[in-house]
């Protein structure tokens, strides 16, 4: 039997194997290339943040290696001599509030737009998405007037008010898609089981749509953590400033760049989003690709 | 448990009339199947009973009370959906107890009722699993379990077996019947599969184009259909239909199907059909009533020869297809009596089971 099989040439078998090996080689080559490309800036930041000011300023030294020994001096100066911790605290407060507001508004909006039939719900859903398409560089002028009118200029609470204009439309849009992918029979079964709209939302929709909700949460978190245009326009004093603008304005004095501290500050500022993404990345991808394929 | 009644119920979706003035009485503990082709309004009717669709006109009564404006949760009904509609984030136990928990039933009672339902459906060992860890048949059992635990007045099934493979469908059909015999809850079951309807129902409601064509026991629908549609819809393979004309033949009547083919009408039917002499009619006869001539039934007047077009061996019998005056006809013969395509075959038509349909009214004479 084996001999009989051996007599027949395996058409294309070897070439298939070769193709696969070639595909793998190409994939690894480009993956490594991209990894190097994207990891170079963080590496440069880490190396610079662990050098002394003297070494950073010394033009003859190699910027990619630490020649004169590792020092945590930049971090000590950042935390002790600047208002970095105030910025950090303000950013945490703003972000937590924005994420909370965004999720409450978006989940309720998405639930009603995707599940409750009412006049104009379709147009409203599209309208919400269109508002997201207006860039914040255009919005900040009218918003400046509104914030000033409310007496919130130079207060980080103004950020809690304006960031949701960016986060709510997109998060609502993500969740409308996610909620719509939940079979209609599920709410009908819940209705017959005796659930009201609120119970249906809390006990069925939110648990089932958790990946979508986490994706939306991560988005809201990232937007409010990293926003730059609004704080630079609405916040002036150090005690109200947030990380993005605060780090830059306090560590760049005219043409004097405190590179060591800038890099240390940027690294510390980047840590929370990094941690959030590391733990919730799978949910994020699942949320964004929901409904893309048959379940 | 309760009886269900529909009185002149109409459902319109904008301009489209999905259900047209139907009335139906379902006594307590009866198993009624609504059957019909896609778009006949059967699912819409069921959804109106469930409260998932509003009634445009007419009344729906459960247990003698009009429930038109009663929300689904207060109708005391349970529904099993085609795609099971199990809550994916809950275990089987949580799925089955969800309705009871919402109604704040004591925990001990919930456990007792879920365990009892699980025992009836033989899913006790699945109670801790999640829906995605279950097979299609197991999911369907859980969906039924969710309905049973509530001990509702009425069970509603919306094509519950359509997603299962053929073998499992037969198995679950028996299971549903067994459960109904145990719990005796009034049941309304929707399907497009007439075999399912015939095997499960105490009474079958055949629907077509938003109207009820006929209501009756499976046996009655099969043997005494009232309309052309019911005659053609019930039974598999379907009833054969041929254009026909009745001709007087002395005291008796002759049924002419083609210039070459005519049979005497059995005397038992002659009186009933006499007023239709000379009219264009449709003759209907089920495939099992066209067989090879068999010993005791031999009557040369009802025997005829045809050329076989196609044969479909089914194991215990063989379907033989031939053409009469351009129309395809199916006969059911013993496998040994079947002839290969292109060859002549001798057949016998048992006209004691014949039907004549008036094409003008579509009703069976």
> Which pLDDT tens digit goes with each residue over B229-265?
998 888 888 899 988 888 888 778 888 888 888 888 8
What is the pLDDT averaged over residues B155-173? 85
What is the pLDDT averaged over residues A142-149? 91
| Domains of chain A: total | 2
Check whether residue A151 and residue A194 sit in a common domain: yes
Check whether residue A47 and residue A159 sit in a common domain: no
Tally Cβ neighbours within 10 Å of residue A164. Answer: 21
pLDDT of residue A264: 92
Check whether residue B208 and residue B269 sit in a common domain: no
Question: Positive or negative, the Cα torsion across B192, B196, B198, B203?
Answer: negative
- pLDDT over threshold 50, residue A2: no
- Strand B57-62, strand B262-264: pairing: unpaired
pLDDT of residue A34: 95
Check whether residue B226 and residue B253 sit in a common domain: no
Which domain-ending residue is among B217, B233, B249? Answer: B233
Check whether residue B223 and residue B353 sit in a common domain: no
Q: Are B343 and B350 in contact (CB under 8 A)?
A: no
Check whether residue A115 and residue A261 sit in a common domain: yes
Q: Which residues have C-beta within 8 Å of that of residue B86, sequence separation ≥ 6? A: A189, B95, B131, B139, B142, B143, B146
- CATH number, domain containing residue A195: 1.10.3720.10
3-state secondary structure at position B34: strand
Check whether residue B97 and residue B244 sit in a common domain: no
Check whether residue A140 and residue A20 sit in a common domain: no
Tally Cβ neighbours within 10 Å of residue A24. Answer: 10
Q: Is A293 inside any structural domain? A: no
Give backbone dihedrals phi and psi of A86, rounded to 5 degrees, phi first.
-65, -45
Size of interface A-B (CB pairs under 8 A): 57
Tally Cβ neighbours within 10 Å of residue B107. Answer: 10
Nearest Cα residue to B283 out of B269, B297, B298, B300: B269
pLDDT of residue B114: 92
What does the buried/exposed string (b/e) look like for B159-182 if buried means 16 or more CB atoms within 10 Å of the residue's CB? bbbeebeeebbeebbebbeebbee
3-state secondary structure at position B262: strand
Nearest Cα residue to A193 out of A182, A183, A204: A204
Look over chain A and give the mean of its residue pLDDT values, rounded to a whole number.
Answer: 85
3-state secondary structure at position B357: strand
3-state secondary structure at position B104: coil
3-state secondary structure at position B132: helix
- pLDDT over threshold 70, residue A286: no
Check whether residue B122 and residue B212 sit in a common domain: yes
Tally Cβ neighbours within 10 Å of residue B218. Answer: 18
Residue A147 CA to residue A150 CA, distance in Å, equals: 5
What is the pLDDT averaged over residues B78-105? 90
Containing H/E element for B333? strand B327-333
Which domain-ending residue is among B233, B257, B279? Answer: B233
Residue B346 CA to residue B293 CA, distance in Å, equals: 7
Check whether residue A140 and residue A111 sit in a common domain: yes
A204 contacts in B (CB within 8 Å)?
87
The domain containing residue B18 runs over which residues?
Answer: 4-233
- pLDDT over threshold 90, residue B189: yes
Residue B215 CA to residue B45 CA, distance in Å, equals: 15
3-state secondary structure at position A108: helix
Residue A222 CA to residue B76 CA, distance in Å, equals: 47
- pLDDT over threshold 70, residue A288: no
- In this structure, of A128-137, A189-198, B32-41, B343-352, the range with the lowest mean pLDDT score is A128-137
- pLDDT over threshold 80, residue A39: yes
Residue B254 CA to residue A282 CA, distance in Å, equals: 77
Residue B196 CA to residue B35 CA, distance in Å, equals: 9
Which domain-ending residue is among B199, B216, B233? Answer: B233
pLDDT range class, residue A99, cuts 50, 70, 90: very high
What would the pLDDT profile of A111-120 be if each residue is shown by its tens digit?
998 888 788 8
pLDDT of residue A31: 96
- In angstroms, the separation between the Cα of residue B261 and the nearest Cα of chain A is 54
A191 contacts in B (CB within 8 Å)?
51-52, 71-73
Check whether residue B217 and residue B253 sit in a common domain: no
What does the buried/exposed string (b/e) look like for A30-50 if buried means 16 or more CB atoms within 10 Å of the residue's CB? eeeeeeeeeeeeeeebebbbb
- CATH number, domain containing residue B330: 2.40.50.140
Residue A155 CA to residue A240 CA, distance in Å, equals: 6
Higher pLDDT, A287 or B143: B143
What is the pLDDT averaged over residues A221-237? 89
Check whether residue B111 and residue B157 sit in a common domain: yes
3-state secondary structure at position A197: helix
Look over chain B and give the mean of its residue pLDDT values, rounded to a whole number.
Answer: 87
Residue B365 CA to residue B269 CA, distance in Å, equals: 10
The answer to whether the Cβ–Cβ distance between A190 and B89 falls below 8 Å is: no
pLDDT of residue B262: 83
pLDDT range class, residue A106, cuts 50, 70, 90: very high
Q: Is A76 inside any structural domain? A: no
Q: Are B186 and B70 in contact (CB under 8 A)?
A: no
- pLDDT over threshold 60, residue A27: yes
3-state secondary structure at position B216: strand
Check whether residue A188 and residue A54 sit in a common domain: no
Residue A126 CA to residue A118 CA, distance in Å, equals: 14
Residue B328 CA to residue A174 CA, distance in Å, equals: 55
pLDDT range class, residue A290, cuts 50, 70, 90: low
A199 interfaces chain B, CB cutoff of 8 Å: yes
Q: Are A147 and A234 in contact (CB under 8 A)?
A: yes
Check whether residue A223 and residue A279 sit in a common domain: yes
3-state secondary structure at position B203: strand
Give backbone dihedrals phi and psi of B309, rounded to 5 degrees, phi first.
-95, -55
The answer to whether the Cβ–Cβ distance between B83 and A190 falls below 8 Å is: no
Check whether residue B244 and residue B188 sit in a common domain: no
| Domains of chain B: total | 2
Q: Is A235 inside any structural domain? A: yes
Q: Which residues have C-beta within 8 Å of that of residue B107, sequence separation ≥ 6? A: none
Tally Cβ neighbours within 10 Å of residue A212. Answer: 29
Residue B191 CA to residue B92 CA, distance in Å, equals: 26
Q: Is A5 inside any structural domain? A: no
What does R_g of chain A's alpha carbons equal in angstroms? Answer: 26
Q: Is A230 inside any structural domain? A: yes
Check whether residue B166 and residue B287 sit in a common domain: no
Residue B188 CA to residue B30 CA, distance in Å, equals: 8
- In angstroms, the separation between the Cα of residue A40 and the nearest Cα of chain B is 42
The answer to whether the Cβ–Cβ distance between A193 and B88 falls below 8 Å is: no
The answer to whether the Cβ–Cβ distance between A183 and B103 falls below 8 Å is: no
- CATH number, domain containing residue B139: 3.40.50.300
Chain B residues touching chain A at CB-CB below 8 Å: 50-52, 71-73, 77-79, 81-83, 85-89, 98-99, 102-103, 146, 150
Q: Is A2 inside any structural domain? A: no
Check whether residue B48 and residue B76 sit in a common domain: yes
B50 contacts in A (CB within 8 Å)?
188, 192
Containing H/E element for B144? helix B136-149
What is the pLDDT averaged over residues A159-185? 88
What pTM does this model have?
Answer: 0.77
What is the pLDDT averaged over residues A180-186? 87
Beta bridge partners of B304: B347
Residue A281 CA to residue B162 CA, distance in Å, equals: 37
Q: Is A1 inside any structural domain? A: no
By CB neighbour count within 10 A (0-12 exposed, 13-18 middle, 19+ buried), where does B78 fall? Answer: buried
Check whether residue B259 and residue B323 sit in a common domain: yes
The answer to whether the Cβ–Cβ distance between A189 and B77 falls below 8 Å is: no
Q: Is A265 inside any structural domain? A: yes
Check whether residue B217 and residue B355 sit in a common domain: no
pLDDT of residue A289: 56
pLDDT of residue A56: 81
pLDDT range class, residue B134, cuts 50, 70, 90: confident
- pLDDT over threshold 90, residue A174: no
> Which of A192, A208, A210 is the closest to B79 by Cβ?
A192
Containing H/E element for B356? strand B355-358
The domain containing residue A49 runs over which residues?
Answer: 13-71
pLDDT range class, residue A1, cuts 50, 70, 90: very low
């Amino acid at each position: 039997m084996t001999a009989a099989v051996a007599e027949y040439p395996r058409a294309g078998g070897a070439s298939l194997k070769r193709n696969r090996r070639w595909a793998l080689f190409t994939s690894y080559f480009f993956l490594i290339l991209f990894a190097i490309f994207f990891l170079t800036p963080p590496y440069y930041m880490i190396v610079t943040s662990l050098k002394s000011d003297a070494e950073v300023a010394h033009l003859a030294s190699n910027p990619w290696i630490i020649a004169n020994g590792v020092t945590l001096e930049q971090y000590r100066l950042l935390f002790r001599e600047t208002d970095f911790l105030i910025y950090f605290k303000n950013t945490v407060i703003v972000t937590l509030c924005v994420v909370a507001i965004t999720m409450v508004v978006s989940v309720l909006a998405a639930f009603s737009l995707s599940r409750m039939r009412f006049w104009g719900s379709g147009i409203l859903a599209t309208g919400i998405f269109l508002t997201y398409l207006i860039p914040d560089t255009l919005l900040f002028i009218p918003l400046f007037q509104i914030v000033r009118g409310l007496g919130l200029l130079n207060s980080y609470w103004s950020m809690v008010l304006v960031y949701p204009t960016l986060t709510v439309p997109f998060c609502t849009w993500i969740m409308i898609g996610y909620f719509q992918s939940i079979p209609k029979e599920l709410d009908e079964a819940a209705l017959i089981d005796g659930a009201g709209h609120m119970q249906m939302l809390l006990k069925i929709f939110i648990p089932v749509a958790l990946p979508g909700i986490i994706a939306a949460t991560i988005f809201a978190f990232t937007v409010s953590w990293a926003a730059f245009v609004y704080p630079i326009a609405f916040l002036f004093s150090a005690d109200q400033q947030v990380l993005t603008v605060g780090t830059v304005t306090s560590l760049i004095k005219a043409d004097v760049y405190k590179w060591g501290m800038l890099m240390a500050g940027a690294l510390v500022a980047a840590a929370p989003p990094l941690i959030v993404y590391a733990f919730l990345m799978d949910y994020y991808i699942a949320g964004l690709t929901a409904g893309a394929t048959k379940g | 448990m309760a009886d269900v009644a529909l009185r002149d119920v109409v459902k319109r979706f904008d301009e489209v009339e999905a259900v047209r003035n139907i009335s139906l009485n379902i006594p307590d503990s009866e198993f009624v199947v609504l059957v019909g082709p896609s778009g006949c309004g059967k699912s819409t009717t069921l959804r109106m009973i469930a409260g998932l669709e509003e009634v445009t006109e007419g009344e729906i009564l459960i247990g003698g009370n009009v429930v038109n404006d009663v929300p689904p949760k207060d109708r005391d009904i349970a529904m099993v959906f085609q795609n099971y509609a199990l809550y994916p984030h809950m275990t089987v136990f949580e799925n089955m107890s969800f309705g009871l928990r919402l109604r704040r039933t004591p925990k001990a009672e919930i456990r007792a009722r879920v365990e009892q339902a699980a025992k009836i459906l033989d899913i006790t060992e699945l109670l801790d699993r999640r829906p995605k860890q279950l097979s299609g048949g197991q999911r369907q059992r859980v969906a039924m379990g969710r309905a049973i635990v509530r001990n509702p007045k009425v069970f509603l099934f919306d094509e519950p077996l359509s997603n299962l493979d053929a073998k499992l469908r037969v198995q679950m059909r028996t299971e549903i019947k067994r459960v109904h015999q145990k719990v005796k809850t009034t049941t309304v079951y929707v399907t497009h599969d007439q075999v399912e309807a015939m095997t499960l129902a105490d009474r079958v409601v055949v629907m077509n184009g938003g109207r009820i064509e006929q209501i009756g026991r499976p046996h009655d629908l099969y043997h005494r259909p009232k309309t052309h549609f019911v005659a053609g819809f019930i039974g598999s393979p379907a009833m054969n239909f041929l254009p026909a004309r009745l001709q007087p033949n002395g005291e008796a009547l002759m049924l002419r199907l083609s210039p070459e083919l005519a049979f005497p009408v059995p005397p038992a039917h002659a009186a009933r059909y006499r007023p239709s002499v000379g009219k264009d009619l449709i003759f209907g006869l089920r495939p099992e009533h066209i067989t090879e001539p068999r010993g005791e039934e031999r009557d040369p007047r009802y025997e005829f020869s045809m050329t076989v077009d196609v044969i479909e061996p089914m194991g215990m019998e063989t379907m033989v297809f031939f053409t009469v005056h351009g129309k395809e006809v199916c006969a059911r013969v013993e496998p040994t009596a079947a002839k290969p395509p292109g060859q002549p075959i001798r057949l016998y038509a048992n006209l004691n089971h014949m039907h004549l349909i008036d094409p003008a009214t579509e009703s069976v004479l």
